Amino acid sequence: MIQFWHAITSLGDSNVTLPAAAAICFWYIAGGTGRWAVLWMALFGGALFLVAASKIAFLGWGIGVQSLDFAGFSGHAMRAAAVFPVAFGLLAGKDRLILRAWLFGGGTVLAAAIAVSRVAVHAHSISEAVAGYLLGIAVAWIFFRAACRHPYPSVSRWIVAAGLFAVVPASFSKPAPTEYWLRHIAVQLSGREKPFTRAEWHRQTRAKKAGQGNLNSNIAPPPG
């Protein structure tokens, strides 16, 4: 079963989703609707920045929400939730709003499976996978609603389909070393010798609880 989840999670790797995101941008430019390409780049790029910033904040300074076991947005979940609904929606072609909505929904389901896989392979906590998924869905929905109100790019859906199939083999390649780059950036910015880890986070919490327990035990009871 774990091999199944690893296969699903590979679809959210940057080797697949970043070329697909670039292809979406190209499809809108080629279709004569360049301003939607700009909107897509702004939304998707902004979400990528939030993911990277949240991870760097944790790796460099231990900033997160420990009560939720949240140490940063899941990049796989965010990218999948932003890219696949929009890419699938493009397969509908012109003047097929209902089909486009169904395909958009199919993309959200695939992205949800990828988000679940991140928890199944122990790469992220539930809160991190859910947060990444919701961030990506927000990007896709904002773009989808805005783009649907204006002329559809004059690009054949077969070209769109070919572009999607072209990036699938990348899921079998070695994952991009994005986590290594983020760790390096975090260390350089924070001045730490090594990145902050989740284990270190939990050790600090246990130490605080132990210290609080010792303090409470040393408090003399009120006189009776």
Domain limits for position 78: 2-213
What is the rounded CA–CA span in Å between residue 32 and residue 136? 25
pLDDT of residue 180: 87
What is the rounded CA–CA span in Å between residue 138 and residue 15? 22
Q: Is the residue at 100 inside a domain?
A: yes
Q: What is the DSSP string of 42-83?
A: HHHHHHHHHHHHHHHHHHHH--SBGGGTB-S--HHHHHHHHH
Q: Is the residue at 221 inside a domain?
A: no
- Answer whether residue 103 shows pLDDT above 70: yes
Q: Is the residue at 158 inside a domain?
A: yes
pTM listed for this prediction: 0.85
What is the rounded CA–CA span in Å between residue 9 and residue 117? 5
Q: Is the residue at 190 inside a domain?
A: yes
Q: Summarize the confidence of residues 1-25 as an average pLDDT.
A: 90
Q: Is the residue at 12 inside a domain?
A: yes
- Answer whether residue 25 shows pLDDT above 80: yes
Instruction: Please choose, from the candidates 187, 175, 182, 181, the residue with its C-alpha nearest in 3D space to the C-alpha of residue 53.
Output: 182
Q: Is the residue at 222 inside a domain?
A: no
pLDDT grade for 171, boundaries at 50, 70 and 90: low
Number of domains making up the chain: 1
- 112-151 pLDDT per residue, tens: 999 999 999 999 999 999 999 999 999 999 998 888 766 6
Q: Summarize the confidence of residues 33-50 as an average pLDDT.
A: 93
Q: Is the residue at 153 inside a domain?
A: yes
